[in-house]
Amino acid sequence: MSKTIAINAGSSSLKWSLYTMPQEEVLASGIVERIGLNDSIFTIKYNDGEKFKQTVDIDDHEVAVEMLLKQLKELNILSDYNEITGVGHRVVAGGEIFKDSALVTDEVIQQIEDLSEFAPLHNPANATGIKAFRKILPDITSVAVFDTSFHQTMPKVNYLYSIPMEYYEKHNARRYGAHGTSHKYVSQRAAELLGKPIEETKIITCHLGNGASITAVDGGKSVDTSMGFTPLAGVTMGTRSGDIDPSLLPFLMEKEGIESINDMIYILNNESGLKGLSGISSDMRDLEDVETTNEKAELALRIFEDRVRKYIGSYAATMNGVDAIVFTAGIGENGSDTRKNVIDGLTFLGAEIDDEKNNVRGKERDLSAENSKVKVFLIPTDEEVMIARDVEKFRNS
């Protein structure tokens, strides 16, 4: 029996889960928030309901890792650091270099940092987390797991943009997608629920949260996905615009006196989506609370559902069929109204939802109506266990 820790490091946070492997039992999980800021928040959940929480200044990720390991011993979750035999790190952008997870080396860390131009908010933080663990636990199996790897199976017809080919050949300008670890997990689980080998399935996975993406999974492989060169593309999101006509940008910049393209991109990333449309909030729950009395909130919700529905329809065409539609992530797992409204517009595919089954939050369930020709599933995502599984592959190889 080994113990593997899955790490998701953000610019000021470090989320983690500790597993016994290969049993995949969660021993503890938690998050360190506000790293590098005053009053950092340090939380550990363990023993089926017990919780440790502390507010303390944490200067950097290395200090956060030191505190985490120390606290795991003090809570008797670990008796010795050496019990941890593997660590897996989520990395957002792997570019075209990483078509699968990779054993961490000095070269791999440098490549992750070099790929920061594709994910400037994420890759530097991911690399920082890797280096912090490597300094304290240098001898354990350390693996980088890339969000983009699952989408490396997309054919050129789907990942290339219709721009001069030299931009791709010289600068790797193409669609990369995101949320790959989540899409991979729920599609594999959906195949199990269908009772079919994944190689014989056509599945559309809807990772709907503050960030949202839709993926066409044909035979277990991603063949198309809604996010693009960056996570800004695709469906309407919490604060991101999703797809937009590029010619609109200089028009708005001139009309609004926006001086730089970076300022415009900031607006598309942070002030748009549900937040921009409603003028109220990026949180679906806030909009649902007032949708009957606030026209903009109601419109924002309908636009979100419309964009999701359009991608599902297009991906059914891409794969020439669909066996299952899967909802996951924060909105997908908890938004019963969203799920119903999306599926109610897809009856032409043969997809129908059962209202009673759909009255559920965060629990795996077949939501399909009895006569539905396409299965509709709610499957809570588990990116951390996918990371732990990849660590085990390297540890046992």
Measured from the Cβ of residue 33, the count of other Cβ atoms closer than 10 Å reads: 19
Strand 84-91 to 2-9 pairing: parallel
CB 163 within 8 A of CB 107: no
User: How is the chain split among helix, strand and coil, in percent rounded to 5?
Assistant: 40, 20, 35
**Euclidean distance between CA atoms 383 and 397, whole angstroms:** 22
- Among 39, 48, 114, 147, which one carries the catalytic annotation? 147
**Euclidean distance between CA atoms 102 and 99, whole angstroms:** 9
Contacts of 81 (CB under 8 A, 6+ apart): 69, 73, 136, 137
CB 276 within 8 A of CB 289: no
Q: What are the strands of the beta sheet with 365-366, ordered from one edge?
A: 221-225, 212-218, 202-208, 324-328, 375-378, 365-366
Contacts of 169 (CB under 8 A, 6+ apart): none
Peptide bond just before 22 cis, omega within 30 deg:
yes
Strands (E), the chain: 2-9, 14-21, 25-33, 40-46, 50-56, 84-91, 102-103, 141-146, 202-208, 212-218, 221-225, 324-328, 365-366, 375-378
Identify which of 227, 230, 202, 229 has the alpha carbon closest to the alpha carbon of residue 216: 202
Let me know if 114 is a catalytic residue: no
Burial of 116: CB neighbours in 10 Å, binned 0-12, 13-18, 19+: middle
Q: Which two tokens stand for residue 342?
A: 């999306």
Q: Which residues are catalytic?
A: 147
